Amino acid sequence: MFHQKQFVLIFPLGYNLNMPYRLTPRNAGGGIDPSFVVISTESSLTNERVITAGTGISIADNGAGLTVVINNTGVLSVAKSGSAALIGAVTLSAGANVTLTQVGQDISIAATAGAATPAGADTQVQFNDAGAFGGDAGLVYNKTTNVLTIQDSASQVIIGELGGGSTFAGLTGNSGGMAVDSYTLISDGTNTFLNAATGGTLALRIANSNKLVIDASGVTIDALAKVVITSTNVNVVGDELAASSTFGGFTMGSGITAMSSTDYSIIGNGTVTYINAKTGGEIGFRINNSPKILIDTNGNLGIGLTTLTAQFQVNTGVNTRIASIIKGAASQSANLTEWHDSSANILASVTAAGNATFANILSGTYTPTRSAEANMDANVTMTEAQYMRVGNTVTVSGRFTADPTLTATTTSFEITLPVASNIGAVEDVAGVAFCGNIAAMGAEVIGVVANDTAKIQWKASDVTSQVWSFTFSYQVI
């Protein structure tokens, strides 16, 4: 039996209330005080005091001769995995690369692999470097600018690295790199290459729909194949030819989207290139979005016009501008320009010398060919003659030298015409000739139906070699 006493339980700051404590009352002299501290009321004991659990406190009676344990149940208790020594404890288990070590009342948590702090410098992306955190100046992410930079020591941006020691586009791969054709994006700061491995495809998409595709067969722009550039040099801009169809000497492959062979815009095979507008369309050339050249749906060509009424039209648009210049080459011999009829007959032309000739209005020179001389000591000598045509009438003039054999005898010869004609009667050709040195010695010029030529004939009154002048006209028949 103990005497009545007051008990105040005082625990130092930070003391662990989860540890068991024994309450043993003593008097001032160090002896046992004859008062009772009990767990529950015992009516047979006088001056007893009852210890009851309050908020956050639990009391455990371990039995006679043992201890009474007061626990703080309001504070989380942590124990190592497998420890059952603490009542109400929460178990803390070690995970991968983590160890738990208990020393007395302390539990230490430590990493068994990797670095405890990030590797490398600020902004360097972390990666697994042989089981430890790694960072490198070649792999940097700037959160402020939202830029990811990948570069090696040579300032080459590489996504997908070249094989060890291999070289491509002047860039040498690192040891352990991938095959030379398997990179995705590679650049040396000047040249940039986007690549797909052998058999692969490069594609640019909008709304997940292919807009530009590059594969082994070539380049296709737009899913409807508005532009096709193939390895066989058959190029189509706009809708393309139908599969296996042939146009302009080009045959499209079986993999080509079918369409009308009239709807392409540009097609070529490396030798021949066609620019096309579909039926009803026009082809125009513009500068600063202003029409300069137009080919309309009828095939008319216009310069400086948007509406055409002739096969070829030019509008200078400026009153000081020359509409057309044709310049001949040095020593030009061919006509500078010609106009033909449907049978390729020249209707009009401008010669290299600048002479204009027209089918019904023309002029020129020629040297007649003589033939069929009669009463002559020698062949007639012809000089260059001149002619002029107006409509179907041709006028010719020139000179010749003749030496008759006998006097009072019909003397004659024939000459060719400058413009061919089908002479139907002698009167289709008419003219005269005179010798200026022989008084009253003249000649007539008539047509030769059989030879389509002109004949000059007279009665010789002198048998010496003399120079004559002639002129005649005829109809082009």
Is residue 207 helix, strand or coil? coil
CATH of domain 363-475: 2.60.90
Q: Which element (helix H / strand E) includes 267?
A: strand 264-268
> Of 476 and 50, which is predicted with more confidence?
476
Determine which helix (DSSP H) or strand (DSSP E) holds 89, and give its type and residue range.
strand 89-92
Distance CA 184, CA 193 (A): 8
CA-to-CA distance for 169 and 57, rounded, in angstroms? Answer: 78
* Three-class secondary structure of residue 466 per DSSP: strand
Closest CA to 87 of 73, 74, 67: 73
Q: Which of 41-45, 62-66, 112-116, 378-382 has the lowest mean pLDDT?
A: 112-116
Alpha-carbon dihedral sign for residues 227, 229, 232, 234: positive
pLDDT (tens digit, 9 = 90+) per residue, 63-112?
A: 776 777 777 665 555 555 555 545 444 566 776 667 778 777 677 777 66
Rounded Cα–Cα distance for residues 144 and 398 (Å): 100
Residues 412-419, mean pLDDT to the nearest whole number = 97
Give the residue extent of every domain in the chain. Answer: 1-90, 127-194, 205-275, 283-314, 363-475
pLDDT of amino acid 458:
96
Task: Find out whether 467 and 401 touch, Cβ atoms under 8 Å.
Answer: yes
**What is the mean pLDDT of the segment spanning 386-400?**
95
| Winning range, highest mean pLDDT, from 16-20, 132-136, 185-189, 196-200 | 132-136
Letter string b/e over residues 332-366, b meaning 16 or more CB atoms within 10 A of that residue's CB: eeebbeeeeeeeeeeebbbbeeeeebebeebbeeb
27-40, pLDDT tens digit by residue? 445 444 445 666 66
- Give the chain's count of helices (H) and strands (E): 0, 43
Considering the chain, what is the average pLDDT of its residues?
77
Report pLDDT digits (tens) over 9-33.
554 545 455 544 445 554 445 444 4
381-382 vs 106-111, strand pairing mode? unpaired
Q: What value does the mean pLDDT take over residues 458-477?
A: 96
Q: Is the overall model pTM greater than 0.85, yes or no?
A: no
**What is the reported pLDDT for 433?**
97
Q: Is the pLDDT of residue 325 over 50?
A: yes
